[in-house]
Amino acid sequence: MKRMSATVESLAAHKSGARRKLRVPRFGLFCCSLLLAITAEYCAYLNDGGDWDARRILHVIALTVFFMVMTLIFERFTDWLGRSCEQTDGSNDHLGILSRFLRLITPDFRGGKRQTVKAAGVMAVCWLPYYLLALPGEIWYDTVQQVLQWKGLPNAITNGAWSDHHPVLDTLIFGVFYQIGAWIGHPSVGVALYTTCVAAAAIVVFVYTVRYLAKHGVSKRAYLGAFLFFCLFPFIPIFSMAMVKDAVFLPLFMLFSVQCMEVARTKGACLKNRRTLTVLIVLAILVSLTKKTGVYSVVLACILLAFVVAGNRARVKLLGTATASGLVIFVALPLVLFPACHIIPGGKQEMIAIPLQQSALLLREHGDELPKAEKDVLTGILEPDAADNYEWWAVDKAKGTHWTEQRARLLHPFLRIWAKNAVKYPETYARAYFLLEQGWVALPNAIVNENLQSNYLYMRTAPSPNIVTSDLPHSKHTRLYGGIDQYVIWLGNQFFMQPWLSRAFWVTWLPFMQLYEAIRRLRAKELSWAYAAWLIPMLVSVPFMWISGGSVSPEGLRYLMPMLDIAPIGCALLTVDANHSSER
């Protein structure tokens, strides 16, 4: 009895000491909030035409306080998530009809296969309205070009040949579904079949993710909250069932993320199982094949995991996984598959999109000040008339879609000139960058729509020549979809909805809050590194958001899809200690 009392006192003392450590001054929070406030206000300054006003200092102060308060609210929210929500047996007598119904339909994520099917069924019912709206499919512009390549017809990228400008595996998947529809009698049937399959795959993956969270120490409120988020947040089904390469990538990335979480949780012990290692390698390769930046995310994830696992064997296996992905993308495809199948390799313009965008603005504003040799290099590597056609919200007019021999020859001189002028014209470079990426940091404003959007109308406008040529289905009911889009835009502009429907919230603010809280818990020894490493999927996604080719355009919505899907994981890991502290 005395021994038990001593143990309880020891645990209480440990908790008390940890709480004292969590009460350290919030200097780090203040500095990060100030940085976020300055970048947000700088974007507002650019949108206002560069007009300086002393009131902007007050705006920065207000935004700093806003970010700090929002982080503290998030901290209280995660504390609430971590509390037990179990009810006593007698409490069932006081439940209302609605409460009993909710308990009836709520799956037990720690149960067997029947509960898994139940969870998938509940999510499918919640997604049904969006599925009906999407039918036969939400077809994005890039997908049209990929289907035209499948048919061997001229498109925005090639004269009919396949190109790795978009991932070849995605083109193959879209082409197969299109062909199935063509064999049946109409491509719209194939598109509808694709929508059904990708929606079903996403549902299965989301349920699997929630089950993993439920079985490995996450609080009940946290994993049920994740399930509700996947079921009810409209943009999850809207994006998950779109006919676009990112929707193919998402389920694979989520599965890869869960594998990374398991590697971190077991400190690499799970890699001793050949089946687990094989699954990790296969998923890593598929992630690399379905998104152009996928291989870099895989490599970064494996490197970060190498610092968490125990033992050199586990580290070697992780580095082997990264190497296998790199060999497939950088050796097998360009040296074997592309020549054999006459596929045009993707150009390097995608990797230097931001330098090209900055150089286009440099030519536009300071072209007369540049030496002729430098100007010739810049005009030679940029798209024709890139300076005159410069668009601050997208890089397409600067980078184009083709990588020519001339561009390849000018690449190294261009990079030297770009770096040199970064010192001479930092303000021009900063303006080009922050105007392009402002959707990830700026507050919603009346000048630029930086909120999440449904984009139904964007994908269903009157048929263009490409749509007609591809035989892909299109809708003439633009009033319906336009009305939906306008309602979503109106909703996002309401005061209490703006933060949660802002792109910046999901890409920058929420990841910052999750990382900040994880660091605080690590310092207080309330969270182990094994569980803090569950943030790795987020950490390997954010950098590529900040170098994307657009943040406020409709295309920018595709880029933030992974951030939406992995958001619940970062919240859930902060509840692990309350229910699973023995694994620290």
Q: What does the pLDDT look like over 261-291, one tens digit per residue? A: 999 999 999 999 999 999 999 999 999 999 9
In this predicted structure, what is the pLDDT of residue 111? 83
> For 272, phi and psi rounded to 5 degrees?
-70, -25
Q: Is residue 269 part of a domain?
A: no
Residue 152: pLDDT above 50? yes
With b for 16 or more beta-carbon neighbours within 10 A and e for fewer, the 98-137 pattern comes to eeeeeeeeebebeeeeebbebbbebbbebbeebbebbbbb
Q: Find the range with the poorest average confidence among 209-223, 233-247, 286-300, 495-509.
A: 495-509
pLDDT-derived band at 217 (thresholds 50, 70, 90) equals confident
Q: Which secondary structure element, helix H or strand E, spans residue 243, and what is its range?
A: strand 242-243
Q: Is residue 380 part of a domain?
A: yes
With b for 16 or more beta-carbon neighbours within 10 A and e for fewer, the 170-203 pattern comes to bbebbbebbeebeeeeebbbbbbbbbbebbbbbb
Tokens 């398991």 belong to 262
Residue 89: pLDDT above 50? no
In this predicted structure, what is the pLDDT of residue 129? 93
What end-to-end distance do the CA atoms of the chain give, in Å?
26
Q: Is residue 381 part of a domain?
A: yes
In this predicted structure, what is the pLDDT of residue 213? 95
| Cα three-residue angle 487-131-100, rounded to 5 degrees | 90
In this predicted structure, what is the pLDDT of residue 578? 45
375's tokens: 């100007």
| Alpha carbons 29 and 31: distance in angstroms, whole number | 6
Of 43, 68, 86, the position where a domain reaches its end is 86
Of 440, 465, 489, the position where a domain reaches its end is 440
Q: Cα dist. 331→297, 337, 343, 403, 490 in Å?
A: 18, 9, 14, 19, 48
Q: Is residue 129 part of a domain?
A: no
Average pLDDT on 33-62 reads 89
Q: Is residue 417 part of a domain?
A: yes
Strand partners, 344: 163
Average pLDDT on 128-137 reads 90
Tens digit of pLDDT for each residue in 390-409? 999 889 999 888 888 899 89
Indicate the pTM of the whole model.
0.90
Compute the CA torsion angle 492, 507, 246, 254 (nearest 10 deg): -120
Q: Is residue 263 part of a domain?
A: no
pLDDT-derived band at 53 (thresholds 50, 70, 90) equals confident
| Alpha carbons 19 and 21: distance in angstroms, whole number | 5
Number of separate domains in the chain: 2
Q: Is residue 376 part of a domain?
A: yes
Average pLDDT of the chain to the nearest whole number: 87
Range of the domain at 56: 2-86
Q: Find the range with the poorest average confidence among 204-208, 311-315, 548-552, 576-580.
A: 576-580
In this predicted structure, what is the pLDDT of residue 3? 46
Of 422, 440, 458, the position where a domain reaches its end is 440
Tens digit of pLDDT for each residue in 535-582? 999 999 999 999 988 888 888 888 999 999 999 999 999 998 644 544
Q: Is residue 280 part of a domain?
A: no
Tokens 């007050």 belong to 58
